[in-house]
Amino acid sequence: MTQREISIAFQTDKRAADYIALAKLVDDYAFDAVTVYCDAPYHPSFGPLLLMAPYIERARIGPAGISPSRMHPLDIAAGAALLADVARAGVYLGLVRGGWLADHGIRELKPPLTAMRESIHIIRKLLAGEAAGIDGRVFQIAEHVRAPYPLPKRRIPLQVGTWGAQMAALAGELADEVKIGGSANPALIAWMAEQIARGEERANRPRGTVKIVIGAVSVVDDDRQAARWMARKAVALYLPIVSKLDPTTEIELELMRRVQVAVNAGDAEGAARLVPDEILDRFAFAGDVADIIQQCERLFDAGAQRIELGTPHGVANSARGIRLIGGQVLSALASDFS
């Protein structure tokens, strides 16, 4: 049977005590992974993960994902090794090219594909206890450089987050997973599998070696309409951008222009009212428990190996949504796939 996993993801905008409370809550349920984001200008991933790790016994944990333009691969490897030392059920490491970097004064490393390839080389070498020397186009590290800290006992799986064909092919060569972030569209999975396969073929890896993860904004509540309204407001903020990235979805340009105008004007409700149901369901998980189960089933049937349900989870608060997902969605899906 194809691997089918559910993970849950959090924005890094919380107090230390809140990260700990969330860790204790999610550990009550059978999540396969717990993720935190690494978006500027929020907390970088490793701090929140280190706070959460002692309280999570069931799920592997990791960032999705860190941009090498924001954090040097030397520091990414060191952070991953330290996290692996305290994580009870394992660690994974997500890398991304990065979005909105210029808005936050971060200069993107270019060319992006080369920066990612060299970053993966450096991180893999360091975490394996090997010399990470490289005279690359982007990074130059002396031949003698090795990790001076305790190394992970287990190999850390590497995820690349992308919507792009070339980056997906690179992941097919070098990574363990590809994450499509900001989507709940089953049609995108087959397209992504084809892009990954190009890289798998180049590297003489069997097709399907690299798993596909898909995730987006998630809002679940007994009040279906309230959940979908809240998700609409969240999706409207990023829809004009991600809608351009999905090669399987055609959205009227004038509609996206109107959404962006409303967002820029701070009119969240006006922007939300413009998002039709069909588009909402392609870019978010939204509704009652039955809605979320059905969306997950469609994605698994399309070939996803892991579905990641992202912030904000619930209408009133995140905890309420997590309890519905953990207590009802996970059990229903486990029953379906047993």
**DSSP structure string for 200-266:** HHHTTPPTT-SEEEEEEEEEE-SSHHHHHHHHHHHHHHHHHHHHHH-TT----HHHHHHHHHHHHTT
Predicted local distance difference test score (pLDDT) of residue 241: 85
Could you give the CA distance from residue 93 to residue 157 in angstroms, rounded to a whole number?
6
What's the rounded mean pLDDT across residues 228-244?
A: 91
Q: Model confidence at 338, in pLDDT bands (50, 70, 90)?
A: low
Predicted local distance difference test score (pLDDT) of residue 1: 46
Partners of 213 in the β-ladder: 179, 306
Could you give the CA distance from residue 50 to residue 311 in angstroms, rounded to a whole number?
19
Q: Model confidence at 334, in pLDDT bands (50, 70, 90)?
A: confident
pLDDT in tens, 66-125: 999 999 999 999 999 999 999 999 999 999 999 889 889 999 999 999 999 999 999 999
Prediction pTM value: 0.95
Predicted local distance difference test score (pLDDT) of residue 48: 98
* Contacts by residues 80-83 (CB-CB < 8 Å, ≥ 24 positions apart): 80/123, 80/127, 80/152, 80/156, 81/126, 81/127, 81/147, 81/149, 81/150, 81/151, 81/152, 82/46, 82/50, 82/149, 83/46, 83/49, 83/50, 83/53
pLDDT at 337 over 70: no
Q: Which two tokens stand for residue 45?
A: 């991933």
